[in-house]
Amino acid sequence: MKKVYIYKGFERFWHWTQSILIFTLAFTGFEVNGAYEVLGYETAVNVHNFSAISLIILIIFAIFWHFTTGEWKQYIPTKKNMKAQIEYYITGIFRNAPHPTRKTILSKLNPLQRLTYLALKIILIPLMVITGILYMLYRYGLNGEIHSLKIGSLEPIAILHTIGAFLILAFVIAHIYLTTTGHTPTSNIKAMITGWEELEDEDDDKKENNVNTEKNEKNENE
């Protein structure tokens, strides 16, 4: 194993700020929907709206960062090792099987993570942003008058927003659990705090591959 600086400063800032905002949105969103009363309805709405706007601004900066650094390539789907990764999550992870894919600076995500995060970024997050904006601007003030977006009913928007919220919540729960499946239960979390993570040494793998190749060639000659 060797330490590699794999998560850059903005990447870590974006990750943790996004996490805080999502938890805040979930907490206030459930209160707005009447699940409980802690902050009070009006305060919960104001905090929810402020957090939503903050998240949208963060998303804009994150999109800019991804495209200017080339990090968007991390989310390109691949079929390579997809079956092995699925089998690992279903059974292998519970019998301490070796991970079928190796994390590197240029490939931080396994095939299932790539697919999941891509769907999150191009489907689920846009759904939440669009329905949230429509919800906030359904009635809005302008020049002392109340205007409307002329939407027949908020019900379908509210349903879509709620479904999206539960899907994100399910993703967060799964994400937190999977962070504990590194070579130690806290190694992935520590890496996202410091930026440094212990990864398998590529040089050792190359040496092992060379040895295996030599053995195969020797067997073939014999």
CA-CA distance, 186 to 69, in Å (whole number)? 28
The per-residue pLDDT for range 168-209, each reduced to its tens digit, is 999 999 999 888 887 788 888 999 999 998 887 765 444 444
User: Which tokens hold the place of 122?
Assistant: 């191009």
What predicted TM-score, i.e. pTM, was given to this entire model?
Answer: 0.80
What secondary structure does DSSP assign to 106-136, as a single string?
S--S-HHHHHHHHHIIIIIHHHHHHHHHHHH
Residue 222 domain flag? no
Domain-embedded: residue 157:
yes
- pLDDT by residue for the chain (222 residues), tens digit each? 788 898 999 999 999 999 999 999 999 999 988 888 999 999 999 999 999 999 999 999 999 999 999 999 999 998 888 888 888 888 888 888 888 888 888 889 999 999 999 999 999 999 999 998 888 877 655 555 555 666 667 788 888 999 999 999 999 999 998 888 877 888 889 999 999 988 877 654 444 444 444 444 444 444
Instruction: Provide the residue range defining the domain that includes 174.
Output: 2-217
Residue 47 lies in a domain: yes
What is the reported pLDDT for 135? Answer: 83
Residue 68 is predicted with a pLDDT of: 94
Dihedral (Cα; 84, 85, 86, 88), 10-degree rounding: 90
Non-local (6+) Cβ contacts of 5 within 8 A are: 195, 196
User: What is the rounded average pLDDT for all residues in the chain?
Assistant: 84
Give the number of domains in the chain: 1
Predicted pLDDT at 79 = 87
Burial status of residue 177 (CB atoms within 10 A of its CB: 0-12, 13-18, 19 or more): exposed
Q: Would you say residue 21 lies in a domain? A: yes
Residue 58 within a domain: yes
Tokens of residue 15, six digits:
């990750």
Picking from 218, 191, 186, the residue whose alpha carbon sits closest to that of residue 3 is: 191
Q: 198 and 183 in contact (C-beta within 8 Å)?
A: yes
Maximum pairwise Cα distance, the chain: 91
Q: Supply the CATH number for residue 28's domain.
A: 1.20.950.20
CB 55 within 8 A of CB 15: no
How many CB atoms are located within 10 Å of the residue 74 CB? 16
